[in-house]
Amino acid sequence: MRVVIAGGHGQIALRLERLLTLQGHEAIGLVRNPDHAADLADVGATAVVLDLEQATVAELTAELSGVDAVVFAAGAGPGSGIPRKDTVDRAAAASLAEAAERQAVRRYVLISSMGASFDPPPDTDEVFAAYLRAKRASEDDLSTRDLAWTILRPGRLTNDVGTGLVNLQTSVEPGSVPRDDVAAVVLGLLHEPATAGTTLELVSGDTPVADAIARFA
């Protein structure tokens, strides 16, 4: 597979890129900062310098030529304000999905967040609430498109070493999950077209990744 990952320098993205290249696939990461290209090269991926907030749909479409799948792993990140939650987590995701449609790249995995399925409670931090609303908007947009999409909502992300054991369901109780295991699940989803059209939630559990994904095949 030739896979483009938006947010290619993110912590999940770098792990996914390493896994893809270890399996002999081609990983291409879209990054805003050219200084990040070396980190992608270290995991065997190719960097394409492109600012998702500034790129046109036409520019994004050109970068998807000859691509088999797209993963949206981008995010405005900690410390960013409310406006960037919209421009990255919603608008950039919609632009990339539109580009995938134009280029007929069918397989598309969106990394979202647990909590995006409902409106944030009134006492939620306003920036985090904006993030969840942006993720929900990106989910709603993607679900209307003519793509073989899968939406993945991980729980609280940790840098613990992955166990390869997860709880992957259409709905799970809140919990945490190592970024290692999120990357492994995304890789598995890319290989399993039967998960298209599904929204899945992910936390740590006791089921091997392959078996958890096979339940939806």
Distance CA 81, CA 21 (A): 34
Place of tokens 């999905």: 97
H or E element that contains 70 = strand 69-72
Which pair of tokens denotes residue 24? 């002999």
Average pLDDT over residues 54-74: 97
pLDDT in tens, 101-158: 999 999 999 999 998 888 888 888 888 888 889 999 999 999 999 999 999 999 999 9
The identity of residue 185, as a single letter, is V
Counted residue by residue, the chain has a size of 217
pLDDT of residue 62: 97
Task: Give the pLDDT mean for 162-179.
Answer: 97
CA distance 62 to 138: 21
